[in-house]
Amino acid sequence: MKLAKRLLIATAISGLFATSSVAGNADLVKEGEKIFNEKKLGNCLACHGANGKDINNPGSFGPKLQYLEAWPEDALYAKIYDPYTTNPISAMPAFGKNGWLDDKQIKALVAYLKTIK
Amino acid sequence: MLLKIAKISALVALATCTLNAGGFDTQAEKDRTALVAYSEAKFKDADKNRMYFPYSTDDELKNNFPKNIKHDAFALGSYAFNSRGKSQYDDIKEMPPYEDAIDEGEELYSKKFANGKSFKDCFPKTDIAGEYPYFDDKKNSVVTITSAIDECLVSNGEKSWNMKKGKSAKLQAYFSFATMEAGKKVNLKIQSQAAADAYERGKKEYYSQRGYLKLSCANCHVQGTGQRVRAEYMSPLLGQTTHFPVFRLKWNSLGTLERRMAGCNKDQGENPHKAASGWMKDLLYFMAYMSNGMAIDGPDIRK
């Protein structure tokens, strides 16, 4: 009885975790998309189009983003945090290093970028 | 005898003057010539010169950018190469929204100050847009058309005007229009070491990374020219100052060069610099020098 109860609670909790992490991920992607598009946040759209995404008037200052789903998360994180580590003459701003986007925001962006085919 | 001495010393003065002019503007002339060559080479055939436009689409390179854009054409800003945008621009130009502003500028020009004087006393001629900014050796500072208007007001006991829009922009529209009508060109001279230093300071600012984005003006208006920020093509440094003040659709009013600069400072993630600051004046001096010899064609319209 005790055991059954425990099991029940455990499954309930893990169920809770599972659903919340799925919902959390969808929320994160949404949050990242907002940061990507909004002028006062990441404003990535100013320079980048993104494959498979319906966005208005992307710029051509940077490359059209594609195949990012295949990038490891930490590589995407590093690109946003400080693009000079992989490309010392990049014209892309260092959003993390310059303190414009915080850790949480960059993680949300990474979640969104992972949905770009 | 006396007359002869006077004549000789006048000649000597003239000779040193021209000599100096030749000396102090050497670097600026080099920079200007290089910029003209760069701009023409980049837009000779955009479709072939893809290294300048690594992320542009085939369509825009093949169908939007004309070939062989020459020096003077860059005064049109991004409309020099954005053919599709240019046709919208031409439509608006048929009924330019700045015409009233020119008339109002003309009225402001002759309107009496409280002391009975007027702008005519500070600016006897009106076709002067190409002479600004200049370096004033006595003040040891660059004088822009905006700061000259302000100084005229203040020295006549009047209140300063907003330097970005309103009356100052309207008076500048009148000067600019008169200069264009007279067929005059940007006509700057660098005639002292102090002037050459101001030019160099301005140039350094143009090429320095700033703001949280760590972008320089040159990132966008030299390398970036022809690329887009969102849907907006970035204009070339060459010819960037010939047509101010501009009526911007976004502002729905006329604005001075200083007003436009505030927007670009924000684009870089930097707090805008004051219109009459040394930073602004030096930078505008450099920018205007890059357009030296190009026709004044303001006021104009921009998105």
Its ipTM equals: 0.84
For chain B, give the percent of residues with pLDDT over 70. Answer: 93
pLDDT of residue B200: 98
Min Cα–Cα distance to chain B from A92, Å: 8
Q: Which two tokens stand for residue B297?
A: 């064609």
Of B57, B60, B227, the CB nearest to A61: B227
Chain B: residue nearest A45 by CA?
B230
pLDDT of residue A14: 41
Question: For the residues B240-255, what does the mean pLDDT come to?
Answer: 96
Among B58, B230, B233, the residue to mutate for chain A (most A Cβ within 10 A): B230
Of A60, A93, A100, the CB nearest to B228: A60
Reported as a pLDDT band with limits 50, 70 and 90, residue A3 is very low
Q: Which residues of A touch B60 (CB under 8 A)?
A: 60
Chains A, B: CB pairs < 8 Å: 49
Q: Which domain holds residue B11?
A: 2-96+185-302
Q: Which domain holds residue A107?
A: 2-113
Inter-chain touch A60–B231, beta carbons under 8 Å? no
Half-sphere exposure of B92 (CA within 13 A, CB side): 16
Question: For the residues B34-46, what does the mean pLDDT come to?
Answer: 96
Half-sphere exposure of B150 (CA within 13 A, CB side): 15
Asked whether residue B283 is domain-assigned, the answer is yes
Question: For the residues A78-87, what does the mean pLDDT come to?
Answer: 92
Instruction: Write down the pTM of the prediction.
Output: 0.88
Asked whether residue B267 is domain-assigned, the answer is yes
Coil, strand, or helix at residue B108? helix
**Contact yes or no for B128/B179 (Cβ under 8 A):** yes
Among A39, A55, A61, A81, the residue to mutate for chain B (most B Cβ within 10 A): A61
Question: Is it the case that residue B269 has pLDDT exceeding 50?
Answer: yes
Residue linked to tokens 């290089």: B34
Asked whether residue B179 is domain-assigned, the answer is no
Question: For the residues A10-17, what does the mean pLDDT come to?
Answer: 41
* Residues 6+ positions from A92 with CB-CB distance below 8 Å: A47, A62, A79, A83
Question: Is it the case that residue B294 has pLDDT exceeding 90?
Answer: yes
Question: For the residues A7-35, what does the mean pLDDT come to?
Answer: 63
- Can you name the residues that pair with B141 across neighbouring β-strands? B136
* Residues 6+ positions from B22 with CB-CB distance below 8 Å: none
Question: Is it the case that residue A22 has pLDDT exceeding 70?
Answer: no
Among B50, B53, B55, the residue to mutate for chain A (most A Cβ within 10 A): B55
Asked whether residue B117 is domain-assigned, the answer is no
Task: Give the angle A61-B204-B128 at the CA atoms, nearest 5°.
Answer: 95
* Residues 6+ positions from B29 with CB-CB distance below 8 Å: none
Q: Which residues of A touch B223 (CB under 8 A)?
A: 91
Instruction: Please indicate if any CB of chain A lies within 8 Å of the CB of B277.
Output: no
Residue linked to tokens 């054409």: B73
Inter-chain touch B55–A63, beta carbons under 8 Å? yes
Q: What is the CATH number of the domain that holds A10?
A: 1.10.760.10
Which helix (H) or strand (E) covers residue B142, if one does? strand B141-143
Inter-chain touch A58–B269, beta carbons under 8 Å? no
pLDDT digits (tens, 9 = 90+) for B53-95: 999 999 999 999 999 999 999 999 999 999 999 999 999 999 9
Q: Which residues of A touch B57 (CB under 8 A)?
A: 60
Q: Which residues of A touch B269 (CB under 8 A)?
A: 93, 98, 100
Asked whether residue B112 is domain-assigned, the answer is no
* Neighbour tally for A26: CB within 10 Å: 11
Question: Is it the case that residue B296 has pLDDT exceeding 70?
Answer: yes
Active-site pick, B17, B122, B217, B264: B264
Question: For the residues B96-103, what does the mean pLDDT come to?
Answer: 95
Task: Give the angle B45-B49-B50 at the CA atoms, nearest 5°.
Answer: 125
Choose among A46, A27, A43: nearest CA to A100. A43
Any idea which of A14-28, B252-266, B268-282 has the lowest mean pLDDT? Answer: A14-28
Chain B: residue nearest A100 by CA?
B212
Min Cα–Cα distance to chain A from B82, Å: 14
Dihedrals phi, psi of A62, to nearest 5 degrees:
-120, 170
User: Which of the pair, A16 or B197, is modelled with greater confidence?
Assistant: B197
Distance of CA A18 to the CA centre of its chain: 20
**Contact yes or no for B71/B238 (Cβ under 8 A):** yes
Question: Is it the case that residue A21 has pLDDT exceeding 90?
Answer: no
Min Cα–Cα distance to chain B from A115, Å: 21
Q: Which residues of A touch B55 (CB under 8 A)?
A: 60-64
Inter-chain touch B230–A45, beta carbons under 8 Å? yes
Q: How many domains does chain B have?
A: 1
Average pLDDT over chain B, rounded to whole? 92
Of B55, B212, B269, the CB nearest to A61: B55
User: Which of the pair, B169 or B3, is modelled with greater confidence?
Assistant: B169
Of A59, A62, A98, the CB nearest to B214: A98
Dihedrals phi, psi of B71, to nearest 5 degrees:
-25, -65
Q: How far apart are CA B232 and CA A61, in angstroms?
A: 10
Q: How far apart are CA A53 and CA B244, in angstroms?
A: 38
Question: Is it the case that residue A20 has pLDDT exceeding 90?
Answer: no
Dihedrals phi, psi of B115, to nearest 5 degrees:
-85, 10
Question: Is it the case that residue B5 has pLDDT exceeding 90?
Answer: no
Question: For the residues A73-79, what does the mean pLDDT come to?
Answer: 96
Question: For the residues B96-120, what does the mean pLDDT come to?
Answer: 96
Question: For the residues B217-243, what does the mean pLDDT come to?
Answer: 95
pLDDT digits (tens, 9 = 90+) for B112-163: 999 999 999 999 999 999 999 999 999 999 999 999 999 999 999 999 999 9
Min Cα–Cα distance to chain A from B66, Å: 18
For chain B, give the percent of residues with pLDDT over 90. Answer: 86
Q: What is the CATH number of the domain that holds B32?
A: 1.10.760.10
Question: Is it the case that residue B47 has pLDDT exceeding 70?
Answer: yes
Q: How many domains does chain A have?
A: 1
List, as one string, the DSSP characters of chain A: -HHHHHHHHHHHHHHHHHHHHHHHHHHHHHHHHHHHH-TTTT-GGGT--BTT---SS--SSSPPB-SGGGS-HHHHHHHHH-GGGT-TT--S--TTTTTSS-HHHHHHHHHHHTT--
pLDDT of residue B263: 87
Q: Any catalytic annotation for residue B122?
A: no
* Neighbour tally for B84: CB within 10 Å: 12
Min Cα–Cα distance to chain A from B30, Å: 25
β-pairing, B246-248 vs B253-255, is: antiparallel
